[in-house]
Structures are given as C-alpha cells and as structure tokens.
Amino acid sequence: MVKKIKSQPKQPENANKLQDISELKAKLEAILFCMPEGVSIQVLAHKVNLGFTSTVKGALQDLQQDYVKRGAGLHLLDNGDIWKLRIKDEHTAIVKEAAEPEFEKSVLETLAYIAWRGGSRQCDVVRVRSNKSYTHIKTLIEKGYVESSKSGLSKWLQPTKKFYEYFDMKQGEKLKTPQQFIATVSELPGVIDISYSE
Amino acid sequence: MYMAKLKTKTQIEDVEDTRIETPKIESTDQVYDLIFKEDDVTWRTIIIDLAKSGKIDPWDVEISTLAQEYLKIVSKLKETNFRLSGKVISAAALLLRLKADRMGYKEFLQLTHPEEFQEQLDEGDLFDFEGEKRFSKAGLQPRIPGIRKRKVTVFELIDALKQALEVDQRRELRLRDYGRDVIRPVQEIKQTNWVERIQAVFDILRSYVTKFKKTTAEFTDIIPSGSKEDKIWTFTSLLHLANEGKVGLRQEEPFGKIYVDINEEELSKKLKREDIEDAIKPQEIIKEHLPSIKIKSEKVRRNNSGKKNKKSAKTTRKRK
C-alpha cells in the first residue's frame, strides 16, 4: 500500500515577497504623503533602506496603479525622477480652501505674464513685475516651468513643455486674458452665457 | 579620570546591551543627591523617574532649597566644576518652568484676557473642554502631515494675469500722473551785488581806523550785527579784499579770534570797481560748477537769444 504523503501546504515564497512589496508600498506612501513637494527615488530608497532604486521604482509604479484601480481622489505623479502624491485635477476645486496652491501668488502672476506674452525678455518682465520678479523667475526656472536663453544683454524667458502640460494648454499657445477667455468660450457651441468669476 | 570612568560604563553597556536603569527616587533628598552627585545623571533622568515613580510630586520640588544646597556644595568645592553648575541651573530652570505652569499661568491669562477664553467656554458644552485645556496646557500643536499643496488651475493663472496687468496699469498711470502734475521744488539761486557789499565793508574798515586810530580790528568789531548772514557777507568780503592785498587776515589758533590788519595806504586809495570785479573773479569760476539747473537756464537763455537773433534777422529781411 502506497502511503500517500500529504504534501504540506507550501508557504509560497511569493507570499513573503508580496508581503514585502506591500509593506514597502505602505512605507513609500507614508513618505510621499508627508512630502507634498515631491521626493526623488534616491531619497525614497535611502529612507526605506534599499540600495536598488529599481525596486523602489517598481513599488511606486505598483502604487500608482493601485490608486488608478481604486479610483482614488489622489494620484501618484511621476515627474521624471520626482514622485509626488497629488490631488486629482477634478477634485482641485473642492479643496481650494483647504490646500494651498503650488505657486505663490506673486510667482504665479509673473508666470502668467510670461505665458500671456508667449515668451518675453527678462528686462521687460522686470519692468512690469518689479525687481522682485528676478526671484520669481529663478524659482520658475528651477521648477522647470520657464526656460531662459540669452537674448542680447538680457535673457529670453519662455514657458516650457512642462508648463503647457501642467495647465493643459497647447504647446506655444499664449495665455488668454479674462476677456479673451470669455469671448473664446462664448463662441463654443452650446454655451449660452458665461460670466467670469474670480 | 572622569573620561575613563565614562568609557568603562559605555563598554559595559555595549556588552550587556541593556538600557540605562534610572535609580528610583524615594524622597526629595534623593533628587538633590542625583543633581549634586558627579555621576552621569542628567535632569532628564530625574524628571522621567519622578514621573514614572509618582512618589514625589515634581511640581513641589523646592527650587530655593535646591539653590541653597547648590551654594553649600559650591562653597565646599576647591575647584570650579562647570559640569555640576550646568546641571543645577538646567534642573532649576526646568523645575521653575514646570512650577509656573502648575501655578496656573493659563488661569491667570483667563483673568487678564477673559474675552479670548469666552469663545472656548461657549463651545465647551459641545466637546471635552477640560481635555482640550489639558492638551493646550501641554503646549503641543497638532501637526498632522497632509497634502497641503494643490495644483493651480488655468483659471487661477488667468486671474493672476489679470492682477499682474492691473498692477502694471496702475504703475503706468501713477508714473504718468507724476510726470504731469507733480510740483517740483524750484531751486532759487540768490544773487548778490558783491561790488556793493565789498565797498560797504571797505567803508566800515575806513571808519573804524578813523574812529579808533587802530590798524588792527577784530572781526567781531566790524560786523554790522550778530546774524549769520552778516557774518558770512562780511567775512566773504574780507576774503576778497585780502585776495586783492587790501587787508590782511590772521587767526592765531583754530576757531580763535579773527584779526583784520588794515593797510592805511590801501585805505587811503579809492576802491575801484575794476579792482573789486577782479577780486570777485573766482566767483565766476565757481558759477560754472553750479547745479545743472543754472547751466540749463543759461543754455535756455542762449537758445532764446539765438532764436531772437533769428527772428530779428527774419524781420529785417521782410523789411528789406
């Protein structure tokens, strides 16, 4: 009689791995939650004591997919090397009061002016926006929303691809004034009346 | 010696891998002992142990007694021990702070600023006010990490543009208004007839010599009055006369008396207008360095005179 040897329920190695990955994801999520300005993969790897950034990147991509599947109010934004946990665009309006905008008011005004001109010389921006705009321009260049190139004695400032993607505008499109914006929207089919509210 | 002692202690800790056990405190005297003994006990150890054991009320530790004990030990010490004094000051400060909080700093504020606490009292029915008070008493601020930043919408960007353009327009208007309506201060250049002034001072000197029969006069004797203007005009005139060799000026010590040496021969001569004009020639040179406003006015005058000449030439042509 052949005795059947019952194979013991095998604790799959994958289960441990999965547990590790879910733990790693939880850790990464916690760090990302605390750092609204975003954090690089290197820093994340360092924080979770992992030498391989590829593992961290994989876990981040998994986490990103989790948010998509769950239909969460947040989404994990992969901005090159920087990852950040952000509120979805469609929910921005409801958290307007609770969350601060990413740009300071004065910096945003300078950016708006450059975008309205579709690129401008630095000296013109400074003339209109005062000397403080030197700092604004520096911040905007650092954040990658504006790029500068030499133009005579001054610099030529231009919105970057990142800017157009961020504000969902066409590449090279100039920012419209409120009046122009109302006029454009009014011409759209189905729009009867529109009023611009601040 | 002390360092060696410390090292040994840490080595033991490494081997045993145990936490440092704080000594248990049975009485207030032990608190003082802990502070004044030269072991590795810090104020943290004291406070933690006090809190843990609960045998001694940390709010009732007598700081004055602590200070007295400290002074006693200091008087006994032959060498300065900064470590001990530092420990005592640190412990005393901490205890004082704890006692101050205990003695009702918040209650004092409630008495002095009741309006600030009124709202809290009103809301007190809705939640655990006492608990909230305890929480705020601990001086902790809730710091819940959250996503504080949000994306900026294109509408906000358009609004920002509106603001930026409005600011620019306001600035332009302000500059334009400034250029048009501003009343700029007019710089007046007072002119004076130097010939007359020098002549007057020269006459004063002449009358002085005839009156007092002295060839040396003090500056204060020849000024018409004590006013600043008179002093300046007289002194400047004297400088011009000295420049022409009519008088001599001397001052024996800085800020001392100014003496005018009068040359009788020169006084007997009549002061010619040409001489005075020669004397004030340097003034003409200074004029060239006057502010641009003066130069401008001269330019304007020249231009105007040029225009006049042209006009007159035209009229003469017409007449012809």
pLDDT at B149: 75
pLDDT at B285: 47
Whether A33 sits inside 8 A of B158 (CB atoms) is no
Q: What are the residues whose beta carbons fall under 8 Å from the beta carbon of B143, sequence distance 6 or more?
A: none
Whether B160 sits inside 8 A of A85 (CB atoms) is no
Interface residue of A87, A94, A108 to substitute, partner B, most B CBs within 10 Å: A108
pLDDT at A6: 52
The architecture that CATH gives domain B194-288 is Orthogonal Bundle (1.10)
Structural domain spans, chain A: 18-93, 105-185
pLDDT digits (tens, 9 = 90+) for A18-48: 667 888 899 999 888 888 778 888 888 888 8
Whether A168 sits inside 8 A of B167 (CB atoms) is no
Whether A102 sits inside 8 A of B149 (CB atoms) is yes
Task: Lowest mean pLDDT of A114-128, A158-172, A175-189, B64-78, name the range.
Answer: B64-78
If you write DSSP's letter for every residue of A13-35 in order, what string do you get?
HHHHHHHHHHHHHHHHHHHHHH-
pLDDT digits (tens, 9 = 90+) for B122-154: 444 444 445 545 444 444 444 445 556 788 888
Compute the average pLDDT of residues B229-243.
Answer: 89
> Which residues of chain B neighbour A36 with C-beta distances below 8 Å?
146-149
- Structure ipTM over 0.90, yes or no: no
Indicate the DSSP class of residue A173.
P
Q: Which of residues 78-137 of A touch B (CB under 8 A)?
A: 85-87, 89, 92-93, 95-96, 99-103, 105, 108-113, 115-116, 128-129
Compute the average pLDDT of residues A175-197.
Answer: 70
Whether A95 sits inside 8 A of B164 (CB atoms) is no
Nearest CA in chain A to B157: A112
**CA angle, residues A5, A8, A12, in degrees to nearest 5:** 140
pLDDT at B35 over 80: no
pLDDT digits (tens, 9 = 90+) for A9-23: 554 556 666 667 888
Chain B positions with Cβ closer than 8 Å to A: 145-154, 156-165, 167-168, 171
Q: Does domain A18-93 have CATH number 3.40.50.2000?
A: no
- Whether the CB of A72 is below 8 Å from some CB of chain B: the reply is no
pTM: 0.40
Structural domain spans, chain B: 2-103, 108-137, 194-288, 296-320
Compute the average pLDDT of residues A118-141.
Answer: 91
Q: For A116, which of B151, B152, B161 is closest by C-beta distance? A: B161
> Which residues of chain B neighbour A89 with C-beta distances below 8 Å?
151
What does pLDDT average to over chain A? 82
CATH number for the domain formed by residue range(s) A105-185? 1.10.10.10
Whether A102 sits inside 8 A of B152 (CB atoms) is yes
Nearest CA in chain B to A176: B158
pLDDT digits (tens, 9 = 90+) for A59-108: 899 999 999 998 888 888 887 788 988 888 888 878 877 788 888 899 99
Which long-range contacts does B129-135 make (Cβ < 8 Å, 24+ apart)? B133/B106
3-state secondary structure labels for all residues of chain B: CHHHHHHHHHHHHHHHCCCCCCCCCCCHHHHHHHHHCCCCCCHHHHHHHHHHHCCCCHHHCCHHHHHHHHHHHHHHCCCCCHHHHHHHHHHHHHHHHHHHHHCCHHHHHHHHCHHHHHHHHHHCCCCCHHHHHHHHHCCCCCCCCCCCEECCCHHHHHHHHHHHHHHHHHHHHHHHHHHHHCCCCCCCCCCCCHHHHHHHHHHHHHHHHHHHCCCEEEHHHHCCCCCHHHHHHHHHHHHHHHHCCCEEEEECCCCCCEEEEECHHHHHCCCCHHHHHHHCHHHHHHHHCCCHHHHHHHHHHHHHHHHHHHHHHHHHHHHC
pLDDT digits (tens, 9 = 90+) for B103-117: 666 666 666 666 555
pLDDT at A84: 87
pLDDT at A193: 55
pLDDT at A115 over 90: yes
Q: Are B40 and B29 in contact (CB under 8 A)?
A: no
Interface residue of B144, B162, B167, B169 to substitute, partner A, most A CBs within 10 Å: B162
